Structure 1
Amino acid sequence: MPAFESEGCVSWDVVLPDRDAPRYGWRPLKAKVMLETCDGEETWSVPVAVGRKLASLRKSRGGELGSRAELAYEVRKASKAAGRRRLESLLNKRDYSSAELKEKLASDGYSIETTDALIAAAVSGGAVNDARFADVFIRSKIYAGWGRQKIERELSRKGVEAESIPGWPEEYFEEGSELERARELASRRRPTGKNDFQKTVRYLCNKGFSMNIAIDAAKSALDQS
């Protein structure tokens, strides 16, 4: 049992997890805020980064927190500060959709309330913009040879519906360009003489091209081989 700092009827401590302790499944490590009042004991689980901030607070202020409400306020304050720092760290590496960031923060153990507030502030300040994220994502995947259907699927998995993007799909695909790109990809494949048509169609469908385009492109490529 940790040594508590006391103030009247309120005692509290922070227990950080052992980094070398075995982990089971995907659940992240959590810190524990242990609170003891006249009404009994409570244990709050918080992200490790939040636990570190609270441990630092306890070290600097000792038992000066005089009530459960005051401790709850400090936990919320530390959560916002640590969550904001985590958000900035993620965005410094690459752009994310708002849904991706919510998932990241939730997996770290931040509450829905904290996560929603941080994402809303980032969106308001322009640091997070789903339309901008989608535009860069779409153009990079077109360059990588992805077809329209795969792009739409992957965007949806990231919490962005392609139909919500201004100019989709007209501004990204010129008329006939999808078929031309599929033909180019199909022409790079070397025929083996065994099920080449089926293999090429399957390859193009996996790239995100529609079945009709995949069939047309496969026929064209094999006719020219």
Structure 2
Amino acid sequence: MKKIDVAVIMAGGKGSRLRSITNDEIPKPMVPVDGKPLLEYQVEALKEYGIKKIVMIVGHLGEKIMDHFKDGKDFGVDIDYIVEKEPLGTAGAFYYLKDKTDAKDFLLIFGDVFFDIDFDRMEDFHFKNAALTTLLAHPNGHPYDSDLIQTDDNGKVIGFDSKNNVRDYWYDNMVNAGMYVINRELLELVSEPVKIDFEKDILANQVKNGANIYAYHSPEYVKDVGTVDRINATVEELKNGL
């Protein structure tokens, strides 16, 4: 029986690396991928999975996202919004999220990710391990400029390898895909609406404390489309049937 029917999308990105496409007139998650906004692909995929409610955290040009999706009825889901008046990083808005859903566990998706995955298996993995957070980990084509994940043999996260490190050592190409299953207890760690980085300020500290943070390893299709080249590559893959 499916236990998760709520998803949160981090849709507040400015998209500086996509300025040649956005012209600073559309928010990053609304950048067109083969003629359709990236965010619309995400909403459709989540609905197909069985998500009934989506909370979008918006900021820069967020009104364009709200004008497009409205209350979500046209897309078959219920959509609510958290509007950041100033950037709160990737976790500061969790302070407000506590009042937007009472779900015990929910999905969290970054707004610059194109994906086609089986969430059921990720959900099963999350509950089997009684995880506080489960993140989707996968190999990608640019590990040199990506933050990498270190795990034990059971998939429990034991550390993060920052992309800013000088990697003069062997490393495993296992990247945080920006997709999570999160237990509500994690929200209680955000006690005020200030700028917080989800991985560096919350997950890394929880890992140090021995919390149940797990990585669900998957080779399924997940693409960070945060640059023009990656969008173009994704469009080509779509045309070729992924």
Q: TM-score range by the shorter chain?
A: under 0.3
| Larger RCO, structure (CA 8 Å, separation 6 or more) | 2
Larger Rg: 1
- Greater strand content: 2
Higher helix proportion: 1
